[in-house]
């Protein structure tokens, strides 16, 4: 198999900040419909890696191939249009709009919350909103003002807003932070639904959650891959144990 078989192929990716390599000649491959979890201690380079993929940070060298696009050569807004969605930890929902409206304004043909004032809602937009609302389990909350949703529901709404853009790759940074046990379980189910027809990369610290969702885990340490594989193998890897338990 060649790197073109993968949805995302990262090769020899490096970024230096004042000579410090936060990501160091990294190679990583993501399949279609894969759910990949990235773990690793603080400062390992996890967030920087997602920043590189979404174009927020520019690589010093190496390549990031997504379908037939070379993402290192594209601007952040172009990368969104190629089908890469990124959820940041700070929420970006419109608190004073309903769940329905939040999803509706996220449809690519809408032009954000102000453009939507002039935006004629079509059946296609409505169908997409209902389909995504069902996927994120907010079909019963369509008319609810976003401000009064639970913490977990707000996170799912934000994921739904990204799904409205029809991404082929979704990247999430600690999606279950601050969630109740029940919300964490529901988020695990949501991620499994999402990757039935999209790929997902998740940075996560909650190991119970990782065990619930992970098929394949990548452990980052000092900007490099320390271990990669099934969670059972990775968590018994001596190098991984050393990094997590101290020396």
In the list 13, 22, 71, 176, the residue contacting ligand ADP (rule: CB under 6 A) is 22
Burial (CB count within 10 angstroms: exposed 0-12, middle 13-18, buried 19+), residue 70: exposed
Judged by CB, which is closer to ligand ADP: 47, or 155?
47
Q: 126: how many CB neighbours lie within 10 A of its CB?
A: 14
Residues with Cβ within 8 Å of residue 65, at least 6 apart in sequence: 3, 4, 6, 8, 9, 10, 11, 71
Residue of 12, 17, 111, 115 that binds ligand ADP (CB under 6 A)? 17
**Binding of ligand ADP at residue 42 (CB under 6 A)?**
yes
From 1-9, 41-49, 63-71, 90-98, span contacting ligand ADP (CB under 6 A): 41-49
* Region label for 83, one of left (φ > 0), alpha (ψ between -120 and 50) or beta (otherwise): left
Alpha helix stretches (DSSP H) within the chain: 46-54, 76-82, 99-105, 112-115, 123-135, 151-163, 181-194, 207-213, 231-235, 238-245
Least distance to ligand ADP, CB of residue 82, Å: 23
- Measured from the CB of residue 90, what is the shortest distance to ligand ADP in angstroms? 15
Residues in the chain: 247
Report the residue from 45, 83, 110, 167 that binds ligand ADP according to the rule CB under 6 A: 45
Does 44 help bind ligand ADP (rule: CB under 6 A)?
yes
Q: Please tell me whether residue 178 binds ligand ADP under the rule CB under 6 A.
A: no
Q: What are phi and psi of 155, to 5 degrees?
A: -65, -40
For residues 120 to 139, the per-residue mask of contacts with ligand ADP, x marking binding by CB under 6 A and - elsewhere, is: --------------------
**58 binding ligand ADP? (CB under 6 A):** no
Q: Is 4 in the site for ligand ADP (CB under 6 A)?
A: no
**Neighbour count for residue 78 (Cβ, 10 Å):** 13
| Cα 231 to Cα 134: distance, rounded to the nearest angstrom | 30
Asked if 48 is part of the footprint of ligand ADP (rule: CB under 6 A), the reply reads yes
Least CB distance to ligand ADP at residue 216 (A) = 18
Closest to ligand ADP by CB, 62 or 83? 62
Straight-line distance from the first to the last Cα atom of the chain, in angstroms, rounded to the nearest whole number: 38
Closer to ligand ADP by Cβ: residue 46 or 65: 46
List contacts with ligand ADP (CB under 6 A). 17, 22, 40, 42-48
């Amino acid at each position: 198999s060649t790197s073109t078989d993968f949805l995302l192929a990262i090769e020899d990716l490096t970024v230096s900040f004042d000579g410090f390599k936060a990501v160091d000649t990294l190679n990583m491959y993501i399949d279609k419909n894969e759910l990949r979890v990235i773990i690793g201690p603080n400062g390992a380079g996890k967030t920087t890696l997602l920043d590189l993929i979404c174009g927020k940070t520019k690589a010093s060298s190496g390549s990031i191939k997504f379908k037939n696009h070379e993402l290192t050569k594209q601007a952040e807004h172009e990368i969104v249009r190629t089908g890469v969605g990124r959820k940041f930890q700070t929420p970006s929902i419109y608190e004073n709009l309903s769940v329905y409206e939040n999803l509706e304004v996220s449809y690519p043909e809408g032009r954000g919350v102000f453009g939507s004032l002039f935006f004629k809602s079509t059946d296609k937009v409505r169908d997409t909103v209902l389909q995504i609302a069902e996927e994120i389990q907010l079909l019963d909350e369509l008319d609810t003002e976003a401000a009064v949703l639970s913490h977990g529901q707000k996170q799912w709404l934000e994921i739904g807003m990204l799904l409205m853009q029809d991404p082929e790759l979704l990247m999430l940074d600690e999606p279950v932070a601050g969630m109740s046990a029940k919300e964490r379980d529901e988020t695990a189910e949501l991620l499994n639904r999402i990757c039935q027809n999209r790929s997902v990369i998740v940075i996560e610290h909650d190991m119970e959650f990782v065990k619930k969702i992970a098929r394949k885990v990548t452990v980052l340490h000092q900007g490099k891959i320390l271990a990669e594989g099934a969670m059972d193998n990775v968590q018994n890897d001596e190098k991984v144990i050393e990094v997590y338990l101290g020396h």
